[in-house]
Chains A and B, each alone.
Chain A
């Protein structure tokens, strides 16, 4: 089986800004890959390139064996209609149409594909159940739901087209603890859907528990990637070490104050703008 997503030596420029340099990453069907990076690291740029919203200046993106890097605008439109790559935003209140009921929101991508309404509605119900949305909620508007429920609607809407790749951008950052745990639990189950999940976050702590592999983006480059446990327990790049050492933990920190100060000095020395 080819990887669901293969990114090979990808470069993206915004004018003179080199936002992504030689990024390589693969995700297999059913695999969850955590992409960690801070503001300005290039993580959103990478997501936008996979969605065809920015053009790569070099390198390749292959989705389910199909190279998309050279797609024309029409090919991208067709790809979006098929729903091959889906994107879930941090705040679903902004991504869901406030005037569409939950059911209509989930049905919409299927109707865009030209599926009959009745079939689409039946499928929407199946997916609503998969994300554990109560049937009674299907007729509600997004504004009437809790943050966690809205996030599940957004995920059901993403799943319903049977995508090869789902990009989740900070999917739990806006949720309270109870909903965060519930959503993370259920992201683990999503592996069975066969889609590759690209879980993007600035917070290693929220990704480590669900990701099979983790890639760390720093200033436009993937500086480290590997199995989640290895990246957390034996980080190699100084930035990864600072990232692991900075994540709030309850009982055992990976680094103390002095070690963090040392790593910051080291990274500044290497030219990190402060």
Chain B
């Protein structure tokens, strides 16, 4: 299958700071596949995502390698082309959902707006489609949520609304950058389960970015471990989990083995095997 997203030796430079913040990142994403990127803040994972979305902050530029969306090199994209691609080919959700919504507009209208602009639907159809989208992200009462303002919804519900908006124009790639980090653990699991459902239902390919290897491991086929702008380890999830090569990956695993639930859960599992 042809990849929907392909990064080859991508380098990103902070021109103001005069240094590379991402060195030679490469991966491919085929339809329905899930790639995870793990690293601390400042490791370069978010800059990599932003480059894929064409929203690098000022002073940051891609100085090497290629990024291809549906086989097209994005280096030549004009502003207009980027606007056409974002949402329809590649879309994203981030850590703090409330900051991406207008607090004074009902959330349903904000989702409908995306549908109107991106899909060219008329007002009434856009509303109907927005309610469908709110239902598809498993919001319990989509008609009610449509009428609510952001402050009336919990963090988990807001993130669902943003996922609904992000998939409104049927993108092929969804980037979830620390999308569950600020949420309670049970809500985090709900959102991760929803992403897994969406992938199965629609063939959406995912890039899941997290500081927590366990979050990424649950969902991803392939994992990239980043530190200080470099990929220190990359491979199939099971390889990374069972045969980690780099000391940083080992640290991430040791943390869960010594202090996380893995410590308690592995024993009975092993006994059964």
Contact = CB atoms under 8 A, between A and B. Distances in A.
Interface stretch (B111-119, B170-178, B249-257): B249-257
A177, A210, A228, A242 — which one has the most chain B CB atoms within 10 A of its CB?
A177
A176 interface: yes
Contact of B268 (A233, A250, A264): A233
A247 B218 CA distance: 11
Q: How large is the interface on B (under 10, 10 to 19, 20 to 34, 35 or more residues)?
A: 35 or more
A250 B259 contact: no
B69 to A, nearest CB: 30
Interface string B23-49: 000000000000000001100000000
Contacts of B186: 38, 242-243, 246, 264
B196, B260, B263 — which one has the most chain A CB atoms within 10 A of its CB?
B260
A180 B196 CA distance: 29
Nearest to A205: B260
A266 interface: no
A202 B252 CA distance: 20
Contact of B185 (A38, A177, A209): A38
B184 A202 contact: yes
A176 B262 CA distance: 19
Interface of B: 40-41, 140, 154-155, 157, 184-190, 193, 196-197, 211-215, 217-218, 241-242, 251-266, 268-269
Given A38-B184, A206-B260, A208-B260, 8 more contacts: A38-B185, A205-B256, A205-B259, A205-B261, A232-B261, A248-B214, A251-B242, A254-B265
Interface in A189-232: 202-206, 208-210, 228-229, 232
A245 B214 contact: no
19 contacts: A38-B187, A176-B40, A176-B41, A181-B255, A205-B256, A205-B261, A206-B259, A206-B260, A209-B259, A209-B263, A246-B186, A248-B188, A249-B218, A249-B256, A249-B265, A250-B214, A250-B253, A260-B189, A264-B190
Contacts of A204: 185, 261
Interface residues of A, number: 39
Nearest to B38: A177
Given A246-B188, A254-B265, A178 B251 contact: yes
Contact of B266 (A202, A210, A243, A252): A252
Contacts of B259: 180-181, 184, 205-206, 208-210
B251 A246 contact: no
A244 to B, nearest CB: 7
Contact of B264 (A176, A208, A246, A260): A208
B264 A229 contact: yes
Contacts of A253: 218, 265
A248 B218 contact: yes
A181 B196 contact: no
A257 B40 contact: no
Interface string A137-154: 000000000000000000
Nearest to A231: B264
B260 to A, nearest CB: 4
B75 to A, nearest CB: 33
Interface string A231-274: 01100000000111111111111100100110010001000001
A1 B140 CA distance: 51
A39 interface: yes
B94 to A, nearest CB: 18
Contacts of B218: 248-249, 253
Nearest to A179: B40
Contacts of B196: 257
A145 B61 CA distance: 31
Contacts of B254: 181
Contacts of A244: 261
